[in-house]
Structure 1
């Protein structure tokens, strides 16, 4: 795109409206599809900030990526965690939109409202996910060039924590090479599936220490977990993936259906399980997305909460660790990297996250280890702890499970403000 064409597009946006269209909900919005590979489409939905600013671009752009893989950001992340409306379609007073522009992306291809055609295909590994995302982001900037120079941050959850480091590396290199007019500043990896085996190996000790299994239960879970560890050591990731499912079943058996996402919640037998997400929402979210959102946005595709096709395509890559990519972010870029974990999460438990951070080898690792672990507070209440040095911070979040933005929005706000420098542009 030439500079003159980009200027004319920007002028058209300014003349038309300072923000976007009326979609579904109280914000000004934009949405659309990006073709990232032949017959392979990703859907995105932008909510412009409601902050008291003269122009939305006076605040940064935050991308939110869900996990699964195959769980929908535009659905689950939006309505169940941090968007302008909650699942009862009431205004959420802790929405991130009050502070920044928030872009929900149904990623990887085929997730949510996204889809593949007859000649399309799902992503098969993390690198292909990152390549697809870079294509999407280039398309997004062509459609909304006013965001090209605005600080960009990517926050994510669960399997999103595995995807985001490589996505960030692709974007950073592309913007340094002049391939994309982006201004990526940092990432927030929430309860991230960065080192799957570190999570799996700490499930049984975590449950034993909480009194949620006895010694026999502990030993039964560990017996299965060691098999997965051995498969990882052989780099047999497909076998490790198969074993992961069996270990989850053993955990459920020994705990009588513990809630994997918040160990304090009451167990339930009626859950929809795909990947790292279980849907407790019944048909409520599906009704919102298919009966209300789709008509409002003029969409004809059926929305799916958690897509099994996306998940199964990534099965052979599911248990592969990406610790080295987090190291690479810290060693080869100037991006801020924040890792945060809810203390009540089991699926990506805090002990497992602590363990993979111990395995990191970035150049300032010793200096980070020497930093003091301190509590952080919001409105006089201690919401957790942080250990920080230069570009890297790890946050232990109190009173939160896997979905930190929903479980402890005050603690999440603190992290957002720290990473974005109080939403500075």
Structure 2
């Protein structure tokens, strides 16, 4: 158990402070954790959970970093999924995770947008309807946490996102930079990492058919059918018909499922539902038909509850530890989060990445080799659309192979960098890269945050 024996004890014993029925801010007794709610708008409450690393390196020339993890969905819980399923100190059995990113940085998990996970709104009119609104809410949260805490201000903040969280990361970073420049936010933004991120929906849906045809998962008939729907989506996006494009996206997933016999969208080497680690969007072709991502979230909660997994602990021991209001159910408003954002779901944010690069912000993109939903083929396509002045030099740069430890006999991935842009190809990983390749991902995060921690 090592350093995390204390965390497990605090998980069961520590109680937060209260203001009314809502935990405003709390600390574990040994000071290793803090959590609470921020009212980002009247009656809109966002939950956060900060872990302080026991591996912190003091008296270094490099400051100890903080990572803000943003989950996808929209409507998936970072406090739950990213924390217990991927990179936090404990897994869903509440056992220590050896590959926790706390080895490289402090970790801040946020249930974003409001309505996700433990976050909630008191009025359904308060759900966000655009990525920009979500970014503004997150900026408000950061102002509340950092402006009042000089210790937090000493650590650069690195935003790391997964899936749809990548769109939130871009809009948050732009809003945060604006707030920093205006003197409204006291923090140093270290960089943004986009992991298997839904940056350009058009490029991803166009990649699905050709990729699956190349790996023998669909045939020419399937390719023709999928390309037909993908081209319809492309046209809808170009004409600004984003809600219609979201509906067509659901239609395309049904076509892909039918011709591939239910391929797992998060690992194209497997069937949907065959891997308990991969959080799959489809459990059966019947569940796919006519569904949206809200259906995925509902099935996810049901499947985890059935196995006594994440849903059980988030609405059980974790909810009790954090003193979440009794009338708040973890994930209870997640379906509405997606529905309200359906008009932004298919909008690209490539121009936002360009803006960050032009401002000199460090941007890292990483992608799992066997992901389908945000396939590397699609990621490379949108990267090549960047208007960033360094793009051509980046494209002409050779890749560097990645290994873990002293083992040079097994290539784990590749890296390519030019100035403030970095791209990682992670081999053998699906959509949830830290789960599939924890070692090389931990090294990548150490390089991204310039962590003073010893390399693994």
- For residues 258-291 of structure 1, the C-alpha deviation after alignment (integer angstroms, 9 at most, x for no partner) is 1111122343363787529663852121111011
Contact 1:111 1:310 in 2 (8 A): yes
Verify: 1:34 aligned to 2:38, yes or no: yes
Q: Which residue in 1 is equivalent to 2:434? A: 405
Contact 1:76 1:305 in 2 (8 A): no
Q: Please, which moves more after superposition, 366-375 or 29-38?
A: 366-375
Q: Which of 385, 410, 414 lines up with 1:359 in the alignment?
A: 385
- Deviation of 1:128 after TM superposition, in Å, equals 0.8
Verify: 1:117 aligned to 2:122, yes or no: yes
Q: Which residue in 1 is equivalent to 2:412? A: 383
Contact 2:166 2:197 in 1 (8 A): yes
Structure-to-structure mapping, 1:243-258, within 5 angstroms:
243-258=248-263
Residues 146 and 309 from structure 1, CA distance in 2 versus in 1: closer, same or farther, beyond 3 angstroms?
A: same
Q: Which residue in 1 is equivalent to 2:217? A: 212
Residues 226 and 27 from structure 1, CA distance in 2 versus in 1: closer, same or farther, beyond 3 angstroms?
A: farther
Q: Secondary structure at the match of 1:419?
A: helix
TM-score, normalising length: structure 2: 0.84
Q: Please, which moves more after superposition, 365-374 or 244-253?
A: 365-374
- Deviation of 1:305 after TM superposition, in Å, equals 7.5
- Deviation of 1:55 after TM superposition, in Å, equals 9.2
What residue ranges of structure 2 are gaps of 5+ in the alignment? 1-25, 274-281
What residue ranges of structure 1 are gaps of 5+ in the alignment? 1-19
- Deviation of 1:176 after TM superposition, in Å, equals 2.2
Structure-to-structure mapping, 1:21-170, within 5 angstroms:
21-22=27-28, 28-53=32-57, 59-118=64-123, 121-142=126-147, 144-170=149-175
- For residues 279-306 of structure 1, the C-alpha deviation after alignment (integer angstroms, 9 at most, x for no partner) is 3852121111011101111112211178
- For residues 216-253 of structure 1, the C-alpha deviation after alignment (integer angstroms, 9 at most, x for no partner) is 11111111111111111212111111100100111111
Residues 306 and 406 from structure 1, CA distance in 2 versus in 1: closer, same or farther, beyond 3 angstroms?
A: farther
Q: Which residue in 1 is equivalent to 2:338? A: 311
Q: Please, which moves more after superposition, 337-346 or 170-179?
A: 170-179
Structure-to-structure mapping, 1:281-292, within 5 angstroms:
281-283=303-305, 284-292=309-317
Q: Secondary structure at the match of 2:264?
A: coil
Q: Which residue in 1 is equivalent to 2:206? A: 201
Q: Secondary structure at the match of 2:118?
A: coil
> How many Å separate the matches in 2 of 1:119 and 1:157?
26
- Count of equivalent residues: 402
- Deviation of 1:254 after TM superposition, in Å, equals 1.2
Structure-to-structure mapping, 1:203-352, within 5 angstroms:
203-268=208-273, 270=283, 275=293, 279=300, 281-283=303-305, 284-300=309-325, 301-304=328-331, 307-331=334-358, 333-352=359-378
> How many Å separate the matches in 1 of 2:110 and 2:89?
16
- Deviation of 1:404 after TM superposition, in Å, equals 0.7
Q: Secondary structure at the match of 2:431?
A: coil
> How many Å separate the matches in 2 of 1:124 and 1:340?
27
Q: Secondary structure at the match of 1:263?
A: strand
TM-score, normalising length: structure 1: 0.90
Q: Please, which moves more after superposition, 65-74 or 118-127?
A: 118-127
Contact 1:112 1:304 in 2 (8 A): yes
> How many Å separate the matches in 2 of 1:93 and 1:163?
28
Q: Which residue in 1 is equivalent to 2:184? A: 179
> How many Å separate the matches in 1 of 2:124 and 2:347?
28
- Deviation of 1:149 after TM superposition, in Å, equals 2.6
> How many Å separate the matches in 1 of 2:376 and 2:332?
26
Q: Which residue in 2 is equivalent to 1:415? A: 444
> How many Å separate the matches in 2 of 1:176 and 1:383?
39
> How many Å separate the matches in 2 of 1:323 and 1:275?
22
